[in-house]
Amino acid sequence: MITGGTGFIGSHTAIQLIEAGHEVAVVDNLSNSSPDVIGRLHEVTGAHVSFFEADVGDRAAIGSIVAQTRPEAVIHCAALKAVGESVEQPLRYYENNVGGTARLLEVLDRHNVRNFVFSSSCTVYGDPEHLPLTEQSPTRAAANPYGWTKLMMEQVLTDLVASDPSWSVVLLRYFNPVGAHSSGRIGENPRGIPNNLMPYVAKVAAGALPYLRVFGNNYPTPDGTGIRDFVHVVDVAEGHVVALERLAGTPGRHVYNLGTGTGHSVLEVVSTFMTATGTEVPYRIEGRRAGDVAASWAGVDKVAEELGWKATMSLDQMCIDAWRWERNNHRA
């Protein structure tokens, strides 16, 4: 069962799971995604995907779905995820992300479903003192409420495992997933103006937005813009499959970074996108955005050694796939 399965990470994870021979049930409240995704999943994979429109915080609805589908494992991607919005609407983020997850876990526990893969985030590392960030790096006071919700949910899951060792919990700390499926049928489809860099760049390139807003050019980085570890969403999805297959039924709490191990600045991404796609991306420098850190990239040795997972796709490929998705699904 994938919660948030019509969203960006969830939908790509569904494809990779199906292609690896798993049956998938998708649960989503469609607050930031479209039901069209289910048809597209069938189109891409040829498989039937069970879909349930429900909120993970709705105990009755989730209980009914779990009783009906009897999942062996749950991949929990459902969450509100916009950094800026979380600063403006903290209560909504805590209620949805933390409260909803706690209620989901109660239901799963009652139904003896204790294999759980959690979509965490590099935001749990806060504003890092040392790079790269490894799984041994300390988690820090988060830079924004979104980050705090991920940190709190990790703590909830850590305490749950400590209280009941029959749980197998994998915390996957994503860095910055971007790109889209090579079919051009599944990609990142946020409602309204995107909060994340790559879909914003693609919309500017397509003429749907007039220019890219670059938040800050005075960070202590080579070109003054923020540096992030961008990782192809299909690589991230494959990380879920590997984590599930290797660790399901293995008691305890397991933590892994999913990134490339390399950082790229905002202006580097813009330049790479323009070169890879042959488009223009006008941009304007604006003030720093609340909640952003200067630089962040992953240490990826642990996930390579223990799970055999490694990101395989380049920044060029991420840009090309994001552009194909935008062209095929252009919305003004």
- Work out the pLDDT band at 191, boundaries 50, 70, 90: confident
Closest to 5 (Cα-Cα) out of 33, 45, 42: 33
- pLDDT tens digits, one per residue of 98-137: 999 999 999 999 999 999 999 999 989 988 889 999 999 9
pLDDT above 50 (res 332): no
- Cα 309 to Cα 240: distance, rounded to the nearest angstrom: 10
Instruction: Give the whole-number percent of the chain exceeding pLDDT 70.
Output: 99
Residue found by looking up tokens 């790229």 in the block: 264
Half-sphere exposure (Cβ direction) of 230: Cα atoms closer than 13 Å:
25
Burial of 191 (0-12, 13-18, 19+ CB in 10 A): exposed
Tokens at residue 197, please?
């860099």
Closest to 111 (Cα-Cα) out of 71, 153, 165, 61: 71
Residue found by looking up tokens 């349930």 in the block: 52
pLDDT above 70 (res 142): yes
pLDDT above 60 (res 32): yes
- Cα 231 to Cα 244: distance, rounded to the nearest angstrom: 19
Closest to 194 (Cα-Cα) out of 73, 83, 117, 58: 83
Across all residues in the chain, what is the average pLDDT?
A: 95
Contact at 8 Å (CB) between 198 and 270?
A: no
- pLDDT tens digits, one per residue of 276-322: 999 999 999 999 987 788 999 999 999 999 999 999 999 999 999 99
pLDDT score at 195: 78
- Structurally, the chain folds into a number of domains equal to 1
Q: Of 140-149, 199-208, 263-272, which range is least confident?
A: 140-149
Closest to 257 (Cα-Cα) out of 292, 307, 291: 307
Residue 12: CATH number of its domain: 3.40.50.720
- Work out the pLDDT band at 331, boundaries 50, 70, 90: low
Closest to 280 (Cα-Cα) out of 221, 227, 332, 209: 209
- pLDDT tens digits, one per residue of 239-284: 999 999 999 999 999 999 999 999 999 999 999 999 999 999 999 9
> pTM here?
0.96
Contact at 8 Å (CB) between 10 and 28?
A: yes
- Cα 279 to Cα 271: distance, rounded to the nearest angstrom: 10
Cβ count within 10 A of residue 136: 8
Question: Which residues participate in catalysis according to the annotation?
Answer: 146
ω into 251 cis (within 30 of 0): no
- Work out the pLDDT band at 208, boundaries 50, 70, 90: very high
Domain that holds residue 83: 2-328
Contact at 8 Å (CB) between 177 and 260?
A: no
